[in-house]
Amino acid sequence: MDSLTAVLDALEPLFPALEADYQDLHAHPELAFQEKRTAALVAERLAAQGGWEVTTGVGRTGVVAVLRNGEGPTVMLRADMDALPVKEATGLPYASTVTATDDSGTEVPVMHACGHDLHVAALLGACALLSSRTEHWKGTVVAVFQPGEESGYGARAMVDDGLFERFPKPDVILGQHVGPGPVGLIATCPGTVMGATDSITVKLFGRGGHGSKPESAVDPVLMAASLVLRLQTIVSRETPAQEPVVVTVGKLHAGTTAAVIPDTAELGINVRTSSAPVRDKVLAAIERLAKAESDAAGATAEPEITPVYHLPMTVNDTAAAERVADAHRKAFGDAAVMTMGPTTASEDFGILATAAQVPSVYWFWGGLDPEVFTAAFAAGRLDEDIPQNHAPTFAPQSGPALTVGVRSMVAAALSWLAAAGEATA
């Protein structure tokens, strides 16, 4: 029996408790940098596993755990912990009914609509396996439970709080994300795996007034509406069709009651690009269009354009990605590992590798019931029937998705650690 099989075999008896933790995490989602309950659960479980040096409060609410197991490479395994301001509509028995106060002071529903609860549970499971079978590998594992990925600031906060000074410097950083594919499929992507993201707030300034006298006011709702339509033309007219670009207005807030023309309107704009010149062009176009809309409306002030966060492109080291893909082929079979092209999604995972100046690998694994997936595919109804990440109905299949998540992380980690183990064996 090789090391991989030996370590993976440890999962079965641990699984029921792990799945219960997953469902508990799902039922108690927390917004970016509010992951106190999640961090406490993580710390408690790692303490119970034994062998880990656990540090909490890294980058405000992050957790770092180190397991030293002799000479060998240092591998950093990363899971993100935060949830989203989305009202859950999965109908799951362990669905969230939680609300929280967001940064603007508004009370919002909260949901693990992007699977970070599964990432946490899968990494906890991987930690359990690695810590319980230390005889099969050598080296150091640094498990990173990162806060605030959705805010775009979590990785940065951990780096700024000394992630690579206070803890062993890794030789490689590994991360994974569950997606709306069937359980059993792992997607690898050598090179650029995800594009850059920018999140921007645009505030438009009209002049409030009575709803019956628009001629004495400057209507910011109209300004905002026209800007939303105009922003569509960045993708349709200003960027090359060959280059993947997305401009989404995910948030538009103006006014409090129908009869009052408000003073201002605010748009939350999300931009996905995959090259620096096109990113520059898109950001400049947003500014130009917001300015022109303000001029068109006779706005009372220039628009306020505030960058909220910038996520760099996520680029997989080619050799390291191939090593991980090999491990996954060994763990799940050749057919399970497909190669994908870059997506328009983004991550702050790239900030870690950039800061540490080491190779990193990021992959996706499918979380859905394969039968459901296949039926939707056959009916040509993937979009209608399969909820995407961030949708209120996004619901990975608890047991199988978690199993694959644990195994894929362990397999990837061992492709560095087990070799060292064997070398010293």
- Helices (H) and strands (E) in the chain — how many of each? 13, 18
Binding segment (CB under 8 A) for its own copies, from list 122-130, 135-143, 157-165, 239-247: 239-247
- Number of chain residues interacting with its own copies (CB under 8 A): 99
Q: Which of 42, 143, 269, 368 binds its own copies (CB under 8 A)?
A: 269
- Per CB under 8 A, does 93 bind its own copies? no
Element (H, E) at 220: helix 220-233
CA separation for the pair 213, 400 (Å, rounded): 60
Q: Which of 51, 168, 268, 400 binds its own copies (CB under 8 A)?
A: 268
Q: Is 206 helix (H, G, I), strand (E, B) or coil?
A: coil
CA separation for the pair 56, 262 (Å, rounded): 44
Q: Which of 67, 126, 129, 265 binds its own copies (CB under 8 A)?
A: 265
β partners of residue 205: 264, 301
Q: Annotation-wise, does 114 bind a ligand?
A: yes
- For its own copies, give the closer residue by CB, 95 or 252: 252
What's the CA angle centered on 317, arms 276 and 118, to 5 degrees? Answer: 95
Q: Is 47 helix (H, G, I), strand (E, B) or coil?
A: helix
- Per CB under 8 A, does 283 bind its own copies? no
- For its own copies, give the closer residue by CB, 166 or 210: 210
- For its own copies, give the closer residue by CB, 13 or 380: 380
Q: How far is the CA of 266 from the CAs of 49, 222, 252, 353, in angstroms? A: 48, 12, 6, 34
Within positions 360 to 379, which residues make up the interface with its own copies, using CB under 8 A?
none
Q: Which of 392, 399, 400, 419 binds its own copies (CB under 8 A)?
A: 392
Q: Is 155 helix (H, G, I), strand (E, B) or coil?
A: helix
Q: Annotation-wise, does 119 bind a ligand?
A: no
CB-based contacts of 72: which residues, under 8 Å, 6+ apart? Answer: 137, 138, 139, 140, 416, 417, 420, 421, 424
Q: Which of 14, 108, 338, 419 binds its own copies (CB under 8 A)?
A: 108
Q: Which of 92, 95, 292, 338 binds its own copies (CB under 8 A)?
A: 292
How many CB atoms are closer than 10 A to CB 241? 8
Within positions 15 to 44, which residues make up the interface with its own copies, using CB under 8 A?
none
- For its own copies, give the closer residue by CB, 169 or 203: 203
Phi, psi of 151 (to 5 degrees): -75, -20
CB of 404 to its own copies, least distance (A): 21
CB of 153 to its own copies, least distance (A): 13
Cβ–Cβ under 8 Å, residues 23 and 94:
yes
Q: How far apart are the first and last CA of the chain?
A: 14
- The one-letter amino acid code at 140 reads T
CA separation for the pair 245, 235 (Å, rounded): 6
Q: Which of 70, 250, 307, 333 binds its own copies (CB under 8 A)?
A: 250
Q: Annotation-wise, does 150 bind a ligand?
A: yes
Q: What is the DSSP string of 331-356?
A: HH-GGGEEE---BS---SHHHHHHHH
- Per CB under 8 A, does 51 bind its own copies? no
- For its own copies, give the closer residue by CB, 139 or 366: 366
- Per CB under 8 A, does 208 bind its own copies? yes
- Per CB under 8 A, does 95 bind its own copies? no
Pairing status of strand 360-368 against strand 172-182? parallel
CA separation for the pair 17, 34 (Å, rounded): 24
Binding segment (CB under 8 A) for its own copies, from list 21-29, 33-41, 90-98, 201-209: 201-209
Q: Is 282 helix (H, G, I), strand (E, B) or coil?
A: helix
- For its own copies, give the closer residue by CB, 166 or 251: 251
CB of 300 to its own copies, least distance (A): 8
Within positions 293 to 322, which residues make up the interface with its own copies, using CB under 8 A?
293, 295-296, 298, 308
CB of 25 to its own copies, least distance (A): 20
- For its own copies, give the closer residue by CB, 56 or 226: 226
CB of 116 to its own copies, least distance (A): 14
Site string for its own copies, 148-187 (x = CB under 8 A): --x-------------------------------------
Within positions 329 to 348, which residues make up the interface with its own copies, using CB under 8 A?
341-346
How far is CA 346 from its chain centroid?
A: 7
Residues contributing to the annotated binding site for Mn(2+): 114, 116, 150, 177, 390
